[in-house]
Amino acid sequence: MVQKISEIVEKYNEAKAGYKTPPKDTRFKKGQSGNPAGRKKKPIPKSLHEAIILELADSITINEPGKAVKMSKY
């Protein structure tokens, strides 16, 4: 009888889910990363010319009276 109660309590504790306790089957497995693809990397320029082109292609926001305007750095 005591063994059955302890088994029931153990199963209840394993299945319990709530705040900061997600269900066991949806948790990450050991050794598995949360984001296997990782963050996207910025392109690395191969030459000075390519670095300048990449920098000038970025956009900036300029505040004009009454509105904000987005444009490329070029």
Tens digit of each residue's pLDDT (9 = 90 or more) over 31-71: 777 777 778 887 788 899 998 988 898 889 999 888 999 98
Asked if 26 and 32 count as a contact pair (C-beta separation under 8 A), the reply is: no
| pLDDT tens-digit series, residues 2-32 | 677 877 777 776 667 778 878 777 877 887 7
**Terminal alpha carbon distance of the chain:** 79
Q: Residue 42's closest CA among 30, 32, 33, 50?
A: 50
**Whether pTM exceeds 0.75:** no
